[in-house]
């Protein structure tokens, strides 16, 4: 019993230290980018998934032109982390926070508050590098807590891990989630079933928390429309009970109906539960071109 309690304390201390380290990496990058925007690219893993509004999912090696076009001067983009979750082996961490974006096309130079998710992997030298990031830089509704950079009800880090491939398991869960989400009952039941008790669905001025609130958010979803999505197996990362997936999504009319279609992409952070299930704890989407 004494050894068990001691190991639990050590595990908690390691998790706290890992969270502090990844939050520090995020803050230091934000400060570096404020002085030299190119510093963002220095922090990227070459295979990192880059999700920014109006673009398809980009690989880091191909993202420089699109990122510079949206965020380069006279535009500006800054951010502050509000929370981090980490794997129980200390190798992966994901930060969530708030951003301020000034578009080059906005003559008023008004800063728009937004949301971001970034996942980081720690290499053998202890350096944190970005393996995926999603920016929703100008949502229709500003996040209520953006000015304070707090995240009430934030999800906890991974406490359990099992299996040989965390990423493949999370992608499999995402695929089953998508299959259920396209059923005639609409996406609500699926978003509820695959949400962890402390999951947050990011977007809007407030973030629904947990299966009940998240399911309620889909009440009234039109029966003649369907939301489809699926993970891209060439992107993502996972280890130690934590993973993230990215993919394309489409909201449109069900077969036999007419209406507009909206192309999106998504970034989902997953955590393995003590019973072995993979459930999402963060989900965030943004627009993409319909032909990508």
Rg (CA), the chain: 19
Q: CATH class for domain 2-136?
A: alpha beta
Question: Do 2-136 and 166-287 come out as alike in CATH topology?
Answer: yes
Average pLDDT over residues 202-228: 94
Q: What is the DSSP letter of 21?
A: H
- For domain 166-287, the CATH architecture is Roll (3.10)
Which structure tokens are listed for 41? 């690219």
- What pLDDT does 291 receive? 75
Give the phi and the psi of residue 192 in degrees, each rounded to 5.
-75, -45
Question: How many Å apart are CA 272 and CA 275, to the nearest integer?
Answer: 8
Question: How many Å apart are CA 170 and CA 133, to the nearest integer?
Answer: 17
Res 4 pLDDT > 70: no
Res 7 pLDDT > 80: no
Segment 82-93, tens digit of pLDDT? 999 999 999 999
0.75 cut: is pTM over it? yes
- Dihedral angle of Cα 252, 256, 259, 260, to the nearest 10 degrees: 30
- What pLDDT does 251 receive? 93
Which structure tokens are listed for 179? 């299959």
Average pLDDT over residues 230-247: 97
Segment 112-165, tens digit of pLDDT? 999 999 999 999 899 999 999 999 999 988 999 999 999 999 999 999 999 989
Number of residues that make up the chain: 292
Segment 40-95, tens digit of pLDDT? 999 999 999 999 999 999 999 999 999 999 999 999 999 999 999 999 999 999 99
Percent of the chain with pLDDT over 70: 95
Detail the DSSP E strand segments found in 87-192: 92-102, 112-122, 128-136
- What pLDDT does 292 receive? 66
Question: How many Å apart are CA 273 and CA 288, to the nearest integer?
Answer: 32
Average pLDDT over residues 213-232: 95
Domain boundaries in the chain? 2-136, 166-287
């Amino acid at each position: 019993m004494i050894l068990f309690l001691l190991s639990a304390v050590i595990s908690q201390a390691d998790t706290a230290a890992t969270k502090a380290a990844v939050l520090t990496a995020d803050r230091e990058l934000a400060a570096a980018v404020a002085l030299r925007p190119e510093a963002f690219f220095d922090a990227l893993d070459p295979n990192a998934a880059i999700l920014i509004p109006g673009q398809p999912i980009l690989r880091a090696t191909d993202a420089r032109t699109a990122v510079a076009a949206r965020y380069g001067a006279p535009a500006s983009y800054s951010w502050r982390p509000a929370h981090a979750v980490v794997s129980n082996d200390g190798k992966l961490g994901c930060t969530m926070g708030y951003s301020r974006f000034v578009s080059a096309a906005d003559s008023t130079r008004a800063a728009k508050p937004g949301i971001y998710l970034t996942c980081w992997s720690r290499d053998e030298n202890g350096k944190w590098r970005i393996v995926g990031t999603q920016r929703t830089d100008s949502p229709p509704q500003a996040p209520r807590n953006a000015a304070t950079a707090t995240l009430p009800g934030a999800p906890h880090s991974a406490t359990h891990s099992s299996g040989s491939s965390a990423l493949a398991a999370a992608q499999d869960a995402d695929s089953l989630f998508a299959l259920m989400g396209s059923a005639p009952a609409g996406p609500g039941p699926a978003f509820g079933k695959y949400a962890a008790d402390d999951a947050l669905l990011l977007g809007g001025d407030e973030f629904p928390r947990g299966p009940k609130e998240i399911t309620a958010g889909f009440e009234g979803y039109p029966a003649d429309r369907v939301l489809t999505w699926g993970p891209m197996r060439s992107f993502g990362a996972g280890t130690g009970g934590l993973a993230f997936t990215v993919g394309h999504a489409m909201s449109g009319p069900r077969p036999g109906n007419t209406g507009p279609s909206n192309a999106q992409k998504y970034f989902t952070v997953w955590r393995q539960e003590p019973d072995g299930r993979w459930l999402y704890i963060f989900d965030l989407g943004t627009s993409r071109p319909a032909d990508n």
